[in-house]
Structure 1
Amino acid sequence: MQIGNCFRCYPTPAQAQTLLQWIGCQRDIYNAKVREDQYFRTFARKSLQHTGQCAPIDQQYSHFKTDLTPWLSNVPGSLLRNGVVR
């Protein structure tokens, strides 16, 4: 029984550079969402518990695309969205 397929790719140097940039941008979004989640969990422990609400869980990343991060506009949205979810 075959469970999955294993593929190996050999990108050109330009493709490898693009992939590394995309992975770095995804890592940046993931780290930003982790910091945001830590902030909301701290905030939730201190004050949201008094109101009976939970900390928000969202999958938005568009507020990280600003003038200070122009490199995020060159990355496909599906990659950034996957970085937010994981």
Structure 2
Amino acid sequence: MPKVVVDVMPKPEILDPQGKAVLGALPRLGFSGVTDVRQGKRFELELSGEVTEEVLDQVRQMAETLLSNPVIENFELRVEQDA
């Protein structure tokens, strides 16, 4: 069954307080070498049938209207096939 993954991330110019909190916690937990953290969201949409350009256009509309806030977030789509 095909799956479309939508990754949503804050735009680079938008502050990311959750990412900063994770970045601050890492050294306290003994992890070093991380210089920045950005936290986002991942949506996995399992689809019936073939993933066509029309289906991807519908998923883009979903991402623009429901899954992300286009004012402050960017998103990327990718298709994954289950093995």
- TM tier, smaller: 0.3 to 0.5
Larger relative contact order (Cα-Cα within 8 Å, sequence gap ≥ 6): 2
| TM-score of the pair, normalised by structure 2 | 0.33
Which has the larger share of helix? 1
Which has the larger share of strand? 2
| TM-score of the pair, normalised by structure 1 | 0.33
Q: Which has the larger radius of gyration?
A: 1
